[in-house]
Amino acid sequence: MNLKKAFLLLAFAMVAIIALLYGIDPSWFASTFLGVDDLSVNFAHILRAVMCLYLALAFFWLFSAFSDTHKNTAILTTMVFAGGLVSGRLLSLVVDGQPAPILVFYAALEFMVIPVAWWIYARPE
């Protein structure tokens, strides 16, 4: 299997799983991973919107894994996606302090995706 295709399939799987964890049952996610026992409707709304945003990108990556014309663009979007998320997490770390351990784990993954995605993007087909 082509490395670019494998990377996009892995990105699809990871982001889709995280999206579904956020949005299928936001109260369970907030309670289990964030220590928030009383999730308001507004925060549930935000988590479900984030779920759908993540799923939209994940399905673009899945589609692009099987499309020669969109593969490189999709890999670039993984860098933009991860870069935007890790930038926001770093800003929040400075402004708000230490988040829940799972959010630190997500930040580490997002930080690692950027150079790996660039390396894969720069490789020939």
Give residue-wise pLDDT tens across range 1-58.
699 999 999 999 999 999 999 899 999 999 999 899 999 999 999 999 999 999 999 9
The answer to whether the CB of 11 falls within 8 A of the CB of 58 is yes
Question: CB count, 10 Å around CB of 18?
Answer: 19
Domain that holds residue 111: 3-122
Give residue-wise pLDDT tens across range 81-121.
999 999 999 999 999 999 999 999 999 999 999 999 999 99
Q: What is the 3-state secondary structure (H, E, C) of 56-103?
A: HHHHHHHHHHCCCCCHHHHHHHHHHHHHHHHHHHHHHHHHHCCCCHHH
Total tally of structural domains belonging to the chain:
1
